[in-house]
């Protein structure tokens, strides 16, 4: 296969001389490696990939793409479920080499480039007992996880990743490099915190850091029954804010700590993160342990950054189909459907992910950022994955049938967990007034929708009077 786009030789030569980073073309030896995404379902072939080294490279790439009529995609960690990190026949601005992280432990701030991975940032901040609440996987790039909101292991104690962003360096559609803060380009700053990649290419974030040293983490596996799920809901709602759990209903995979006879059994795998004293953390977990005799309990004190070790295997690249939504209630019928479908999962990599929310996430005013669903109580995600193309049909069929049975109870969407599901689902990510404000800001900063390779919010049309 080859791309269909032809770029004039002279224009390409001049462009390559102007950028400091590498320019990867279909004939380059590293082309296939560079275009590979985390979700292996997507096999896209861009005309040109620019491995940018700094904001100037990004600006020149935008200018070149617009001059040549090339669609733009932006890649940091490459974790976009619908494959928006790459495109066909367009130009990809690959910022995965922009990985600089600078920690100021005295001021408790950090400056990081968007290609840095969450795990690398966590390790760098851990040296000082500090952190930013990113997601649940070490391999995601800071760019994507932050711009969509950032729901992770610290969400109940410290809120979303965007709640700790103090400044954003961004290259706009006209190639201008600007810094957006609460006082400088405040409308853009508001939109970048939850509005995704619609408004420019981010080249740097300044974060406030929070104190997180040793946590109580690990894994607690319970038998997956309706009674246990009902208890999990009850206990989660009563848990202190210092405790965040991310859990999975799945068939237990082989694990070093799991009895052989339990492999393949239906379990509720609870991954806790308690940020207070270890003694109080044990007390907070006791009600979960009391729900049923644990299949395994390997909870223990650990450095916060080590929590990513527990999810590393589950987040390896696969062929994934995902559906997700926010829920106000996790009711009995939803529990029954989860148990029914997970029991019939076509591969070992199919699961339902459950995230009780609340806490600090809910205490930030909904209008403070572009992330609207502050009041959501749960985030429920159908995860369907396989390792071979032969499994694609059964995996997709299972995910969509599963989703059809629980989707009507949802109350909103998380843009970071959307696939290509249409404009209506994108709108679900925002309150109506938030979406309208984002569309207006999009019109001002990107009126031609240059940055359309994302969960796209189209620029608001200008009225005849205007």
CB 53 within 8 A of CB 35: no
Would you tell me how many other CB atoms lie within 10 Å of the CB of residue 396?
A: 17
- For residue 181, the model assigns a pLDDT of 98
Q: Which residues are registered as beta bridge partners of 205?
A: 112, 168
Q: Is 161 exposed, middle or buried (0-12, 13-18, 19+ CB in 10 A)?
A: buried
The pLDDT of residue 11 is 96
Write down the domain spans for the chain: 9-94, 101-211, 214-417
Contact 357, 243 (CB under 8 A): no
Tokens 């983490």 appear where? 217
Query: Exposed, middle or buried: residue 3 (CB in 10 Å: 0-12, 13-18, 19+)?
Result: middle
Read off the tokens for 199. 């408004």
The set of long-range contacts for 255-261, using a CB threshold of 8 Å and a minimum separation of 24, is: 255/296, 257/219, 257/296, 257/298, 258/221, 258/295, 258/296, 259/295, 259/296
CATH number of 214-417: 3.40.462.20
pLDDT score for 3: 57
Burial 103-117 (b: 16+ CB within 10 A, else e): beeeeebbbbbbbbb
SS3 165: strand
d(CA 72, CA 319): 24
The CATH number of 101-211 is: 3.30.465.10
Q: What is the pTM of this model?
A: 0.95
160/150 Cα distance (integer angstroms): 5
Architecture of domain 9-94: 2-Layer Sandwich (3.30)
Report how far residue 410's alpha carbon sits from residue 432's, in angstroms, rounded to the nearest whole number. 16
- What element of type H or E holds 96? none
The per-residue pLDDT for 1 is 44
- pLDDT string in tens for the chain (466-residue length): 455 678 999 999 999 999 999 999 999 999 999 999 999 999 999 999 999 999 999 999 999 999 999 999 999 999 999 999 999 999 999 999 999 999 999 999 999 999 999 999 999 999 999 999 999 999 999 999 999 999 999 999 999 999 999 999 999 999 999 999 999 999 999 999 999 999 999 999 999 999 999 999 999 999 999 999 999 999 999 999 999 999 999 999 988 888 889 999 999 999 999 999 999 999 999 999 999 999 999 999 999 999 999 888 777 899 999 999 999 999 999 999 999 999 999 999 999 999 999 999 999 999 999 999 999 999 999 999 999 999 999 999 999 999 999 999 999 999 999 999 999 999 999 999 999 999 999 999 999 999 999 999 999 986 544 4
């Amino acid at each position: 296969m080859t791309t269909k786009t032809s770029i004039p030789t002279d224009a390409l030569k001049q462009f390559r001389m102007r950028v400091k980073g590498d320019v990867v073309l279909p004939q380059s030896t590293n082309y296939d490696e560079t275009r590979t995404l985390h979700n292996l379902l997507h096999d896209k072939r861009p005309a040109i990939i620019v491995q940018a080294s700094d904001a100037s490279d990004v600006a020149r790439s935008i200018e070149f793409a617009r001059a040549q009529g090339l669609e733009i995609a932006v890649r940091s960690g490459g974790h976009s479920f619908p494959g928006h990190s790459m495109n066909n026949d367009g130009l990809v601005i690959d910022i995965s080499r922009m990985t600089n992280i600078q920690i100021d432990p005295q001021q408790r701030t950090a400056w990081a480039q968007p290609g840095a991975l969450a795990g690398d940032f966590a390790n760098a901040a851990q040296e000082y007992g500090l952190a930013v609440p990113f997601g649940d996987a070490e391999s995601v790039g800071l760019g994507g996880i932050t711009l969509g909101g950032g729901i992770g292991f610290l969400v109940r104690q410290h809120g979303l990743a965007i709640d700790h962003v103090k400044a954003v360096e961004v290259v706009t559609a006209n190639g201008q490099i600007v810094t957006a803060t609460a006082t400088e380009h405040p409308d853009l700053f508001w939109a970048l915190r939850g509005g995704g990649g619609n408004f420019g290419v981010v080249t740097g974030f300044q974060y406030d850091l929070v104190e997180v040293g040793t946590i109580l983490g690990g894994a607690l596996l319970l038998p997956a029954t309706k009674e246990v799920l009902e208890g999990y809901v009850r206990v989660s709602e009563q848990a202190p804010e210092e405790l965040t759990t991310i859990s999975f209903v799945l068939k237990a995979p082989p694990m070093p700590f799991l009895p052989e006879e339990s492999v393949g059994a239906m379990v509720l795998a609870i991954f806790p993160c308690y940020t207070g004293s270890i003694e109080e953390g044990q007390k907070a977990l006791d009600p979960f342990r009391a729900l049923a005799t644990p299949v395994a309990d390997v909870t223990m004190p650990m450095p916060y950054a080590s929590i990513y070790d527990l999810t590393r295997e589950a987040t390896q690249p696969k062929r994934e189909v995902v559906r997700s939504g926010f829920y106000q209630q996790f009711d009995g019928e939803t529990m029954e459907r989860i148990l029914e479908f997970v029991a019939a999962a076509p591969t070992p990599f199919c699961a339902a992910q459950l995230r009780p929310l609340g806490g600090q996430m809910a205490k930030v005013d909904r209008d403070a950022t572009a992330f609207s669903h502050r009041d959501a109580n749960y985030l429920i995600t159908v995860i369907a994955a396989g390792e071979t193309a032969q499994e694609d049909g059964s995996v997709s069929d299972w995910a969509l049938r599963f989703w059809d049975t629980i989707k009507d109870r949802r109350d909103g969407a998380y843009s970071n967990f959307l696939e290509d599901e249409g404009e209506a689902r994108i709108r679900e990510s925002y309150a109506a007034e938030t979406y309208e404000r984002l569309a207006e800001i999009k019109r001002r900063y990107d009126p031609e929708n240059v940055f359309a390779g994302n969960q796209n919010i189209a620029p608001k049309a200008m009225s005849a009077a205007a």
